[in-house]
Structure 1
C-alpha cells in the first residue's frame, strides 16, 4: 500500500492542476454507444440455448489548454453469463459478457508535454485502452482478441472493473514509444460488483506494474510487454501463497494491402502470444491472430470481414487441481460487420470452439450470433 499511497498523492496533485487548467476555455465531446449481442449455442458446449446481452457506453472527452485533457466513461451492463451457461468456454465468446450493473469505468486526467513526446495519465484507467491494444482484432466478438487471456485472467484494470492507476508514456524516437503504469493490485470491489464506483484499496492489494515497448515500422508495429503483481497469490497446487504472479506478451500487426495510406480500407493481419505463471494462473500460454479486410466491396468502405483464431493452453498445475487431463481450447471465429450508416451496424458472427474450457468430455461448441451497434452518429 505504500506504493499506492504515493500514487494517490500524485493523482490528487494532477486533479488540482487539471481543475486549474479547466478554468481556461475547454471543449467537451460526448458519445453514447449501445451494443447488443444475440448469441445461440447451436450444438456442443454445456447446453443448447440463446441469450441476449446488452452494453451501453456513455463517455465524455474533455480537451483543455496547456496540454491537459480528460475522459469519463460510464458502463451500463445488462448482465452476461453466455459462456458460463451455454458454450462453456474459458476465453469468453462475447467481449461484453459481464455482471449486471452501472459502473464508472474510467475517469482520468492527462498532461501532455509541450513537445508532445511525453504524457502522464492518472485516475480510473482502462489498462487495455493503453496496453496490449490490438486494433485489427477489435472487429471480433471473442474477448481474447481484445486482450490475451494469459493476461486478462490475472484480474487487471480492464472491462468491466477498473481501478486507480498512473501511466507514463514517452516517444523515444519517431518510431519507438515506451509506456509504463502502476495500478492497484485488485480491480473493482470484489464484494460489491454492481457498485457504481467499485473502488476499494485494501492493505493486501499490493500493486500491479506493467510496461510496454512499441516499435513502429512501415505498414505495422511490434509490441513487447511484461506485467507483475507485488502481492503474493494463491498457488493452484494448494501449497499456499507464492510470489511471481507475472507474465509477458508480444504482438505484431501488418497491413498487407493499403490502397490509401491514410484510409481505413485494406487487409491487415496480426499475431499475439503470451505466457503467465502456470503455478498461479490457469492459462499458461496463449497464441492468437487473424486477418481483417476493411472495405471488401466497392462502395462499402466501412464494412469489414475477418477470420481469427484464439488458442489457449492450460498449465499442468491447473489440470491436476481440476482432476482432468485438459486439452488446449481453440476458437475459430468468422465475422462480418455491415455498416448500415455512420454509427449503425449489424454484425453476423460464427464461432467454433474446440475443447471448451479444455475438457475432453465436453463436445465442441458451435455458436451463432449477431451484434448490433448503435451510436450517436446514427442520429445526426
Structure 2
C-alpha cells in the first residue's frame, strides 16, 4: 500500500496556486490570510481592529508587498450542555501565529504555531464525549498546549500544472475539504468538518501534492506521519514506517472555486501501530458541495471505514450554508453515524450563524442536538449551545 501510494504521489505531485487551494482548504494558512471565505468584494460592518491600530496593519501590508504575510489571531469557544453525565460546561482558547514567505517566484515557506489551552476541566472538543455522546463537539478546541502545526515548503510548476508540499503539514488542510469544513469559521462538530470516518493524524512530517488533470479535474495525494505529535515533532517518520496515505480525485467548476464548487472521492489508509495501540485502518469518503448563486452551498458527504481508530465506521452528512450580507454565514447540518461496538445509530444536528463584524472579528453562536447518544443510552437526546469568537491582528 505504501509503495502504491508513493508512486501515485510522484505522479500526482501538485496543484497550481489555484489548484493548490485543493491543498489549501478553508482552514489552511493560505485561505486564512485571505479574509472573505474566497468570496469576491466582501462587505463588512466595521474595519475593527484595523481602525484602532492603523500603524500595525500598514506595517503588515508593507511586509506583504515584499513577500512576507502573516497574522496573529485568537479564538475562544464556550459550550454548555444538558447532558445527564459529565461537567456540562467547557471553554477553551487558541492563540495562533501563522503566515507565509514567498521566497522565490515559484517557492514559498508556510508556518503556523499554536497554543491550545482550556479554561475548564473538559475542553469543548471532548464535551460531547464527556456527556455521553460519541461526538467531537468542538473540533480543534482542546488543551494540547504549544504546537507546531505547519512548517512546510511549497514548490509550484511555472505553468501552474502542479504543486508539491513537504515538511510539517496538516492533512486536514486538503483531505476531504469543502467550503464549510473549517472549525474556525464554519461548523464546530467533527461530523461536518473532515469526515469523521477518516483516521486523520495529527500535524506532522509529510509530503503532499496534486495535479491539474484538465480544466475541471484534479488529483491530490499525501504521505504523512500516522503517529505525529505536533507538540514534539519527530523527523524519523519515514524510517519508522507508520504512515497515513490518501489520494483524492475531484471535479470543480474552475480552480479559482475549487472548494466552493467541488465533488470528490477520497481513498485513505493508515498503518497500524503497536506503540499507539492502533490497528490498520482504511476507508473511502465522498463529498459533493456546490456554491449556488454565490450564496447557497448545499452539501452531501458520506464515508465508511474498516478499522478501530476513526470515530465512526459509517457516516452520512447533509446540509446547507448561506452567505448573507457582510459575509455573514449561516449553516445547517444533519449527520447519521454508526460505530463499531455500539448498537443503534446516532443522529447529530448543528445550526450556527457567524456574524462577520469585520475581517478581523467574528462571533458565532451555535446549537447542536444529538439524538440517541451512543455512550449514554439512558438519555434520549443531548442539546449543546456554543459561542465562538475570533479576532485577528
Change (3 A) 1:214 1:71: same
Alpha-carbon distance in 2 for matches of 1:48, 1:284: 27
Change (3 A) 1:275 1:33: same
TM-score w.r.t. structure 1 length?
A: 0.76
Q: Corresponding residue for 2:296?
A: 267
User: Are the aligned partners of 1:45 and 1:86 in contact in 2 as well (CA < 8 Å)?
Assistant: no
Q: Corresponding residue for 1:366?
A: 383
Alpha-carbon distance in 2 for matches of 1:332, 1:303: 20
Aligned ranges 1:272-311 → 2 under 5 Å: 272-278=301-307, 283-295=312-324, 300-311=325-336
Matched, 1:148 2:198: no
Matched, 1:106 2:150: yes
TM superposition shift of 1:179: 1.0
Aligned ranges 1:205-216 → 2 under 5 Å: 205-216=241-252
Change (3 A) 1:105 1:45: farther
Aligned ranges 1:314-325 → 2 under 5 Å: 314-315=339-340, 318-319=341-342
Q: Corresponding residue for 1:132?
A: 176
Aligned ranges 1:129-278 → 2 under 5 Å: 129-138=173-182, 139-151=186-198, 154=199, 156-157=200-201, 161-188=202-229, 195=231, 197-199=232-234, 201=236, 205-217=241-253, 220-231=261-272, 243=280, 245-258=281-294, 266-278=295-307
Gaps of 5+ in 1: 11-24, 190-194, 235-239, 259-265, 320-325
SS in 1 for 2:265: strand
TM superposition shift of 1:49: 2.5
SS in 1 for 2:172: helix
Alpha-carbon distance in 1 for matches of 2:157, 2:381: 52
Gaps of 5+ in 2: 11-64, 255-259
Q: Corresponding residue for 1:15?
A: none
1:17-44 deviation digits (Å, cap 9, x = unpaired): xxxxxxxx96111111211111111x23
Higher strand share: 1
1:275-297 deviation digits (Å, cap 9, x = unpaired): 100566562101112111111xx
Q: Corresponding residue for 2:134?
A: 90
User: Are the aligned partners of 2:262 and 2:288 in contact in 1 as well (CA < 8 Å)?
Assistant: yes
User: Are the aligned partners of 1:137 and 1:290 in contact in 2 as well (CA < 8 Å)?
Assistant: no
Which moves more between the two structures, 142-151 or 115-124? 142-151
Q: Corresponding residue for 2:110?
A: 71
State which of 36, 48, 52 in structure 1 corresponds to 2:91. 52
Matched, 1:350 2:367: yes
Alpha-carbon distance in 1 for matches of 2:274, 2:107: 38
TM superposition shift of 1:205: 4.7
> Over aligned residues, Cα RMSD in angstroms?
2.9
User: Are the aligned partners of 1:68 and 1:112 in contact in 2 as well (CA < 8 Å)?
Assistant: yes
1:245-303 deviation digits (Å, cap 9, x = unpaired): 21110000112333xxxxxxx111111100100566562101112111111xxxx3211
Count of aligned residue pairs for this structure pair? 320
CA radius of gyration, larger in: 1
Alpha-carbon distance in 1 for matches of 2:204, 2:282: 18
TM-score w.r.t. structure 2 length?
A: 0.74
Matched, 1:27 2:67: yes
